[in-house]
Amino acid sequence: MNTRPTAILFDWDNTLIDSWPAIHSSTNAVMAAMGHPIWTFEETKTRVRKSLRDTFPVMFGERWEEAREIYYGHFRAHHLQDLREMPGVADMLAVLANAEFYMGVVSNKDGALLRAEAAHLGWDRYFGALVGAGDAARDKPARDPIELALQPSGHAAGGAIWYVGDTNVDMECAFAATCVPVLLRGHDAGEGEFDAHPPVYTFKNPADFLGFLGLGEVSATPKSL
C-alpha cells in the first residue's frame, strides 16, 4: 500500500459540503406526504447512507417513484441556497490541485444535482469526474462508481487510490474497490461503527489531511482505527 496516493476520490455530502439541512427537510417532505412519521435531525443523519434508488423502494414500496419525485422537487428548490462548504475544504482542494493530484467525487447524491452544486461552488474545476447516484451501473457501496470516477485519470482502482468519506458506507465502498479507506470528519466513531470496514487513516479536519501528505502542518496525529 502506498502512503502517498496517486489519486484521491472524495465523498461529497458532509465530507466536502454540509448538506444535512437540505437532506433533512426534503426527507421529511416525503415522509409527511407518504404518511410516515417525521424524522428528527439526528435520525436523518443516522439513517441516510445509501442512494435513493436503493432505499426508497424498501421504504415506500410501490409508491417509491412518487416519493422520489416529491423528494427531488423539494431538494431542487432548496439545495443551492442551503449549500455550505465544510470548514477548510475549499483551501484543501486548492492545495491538492496545485500539487497536481487527480481528484474525483463519488457520491450517492443524484448525479445532476451533484454537478450543479459543484458548479455553484466553483469546485468543478478541481475534479476529473463527479459521479453521483445513477451514473454508474450500481451506486455506492458497490465499486462501480469508483471505477467510473477513475476513468479519465488512467488510474486503476487499488491500493494507490484513496477514497475519503465520512460514513461506514464510504469505507465499505473503498473496500469493495480495494482502495484505501480514509475517514475525514470532526467527530469520533461510534461503538462498532467501522468494525466491518475500518478506515486505514482517520483525520479530524482538512489541515490534518494535508499535513499527513506533506502539504501543510499537522495539528493532530492521524489515528488509524
Q: If we measure between CA atoms, which residue out of 120, 119, 184, 178 comes closest to residue 147?
A: 178
- Pairing of the two strands 102-110 and 84-85: unpaired
Nearest-angstrom CA–CA distance, 108 and 134: 8
Question: By the 8 A CB rule, do 22 and 44 touch?
Answer: no
Question: By the 8 A CB rule, do 131 and 112 touch?
Answer: no
Instruction: Indicate the domain borders of the chain.
Output: 7-18+85-212, 20-78
> Is 20-78 a domain of CATH 2.60.40?
no
Residue 153 DSSP one-character state = G
Nearest-angstrom CA–CA distance, 149 and 151: 6
Q: Which fold has domain 7-18+85-212?
A: Rossmann fold (3.40.50)
Question: By the 8 A CB rule, do 161 and 150 touch?
Answer: yes
**Which distant-in-sequence residues (6+ apart) come within 8 Å of 190 by Cβ?**
none
Q: Which of the residues in the chain have pLDDT under 70?
A: 1-2, 217-225
Is residue 206 reached through a cis peptide bond, with omega within 30 degrees of 0 on the bond before it? no
The pTM (predicted TM-score) of the whole model is 0.82
Question: Could you report the per-residue pLDDT of 122-167, keeping only the tens digit for each?
Answer: 999 999 999 999 999 999 999 999 999 999 999 999 999 999 999 9
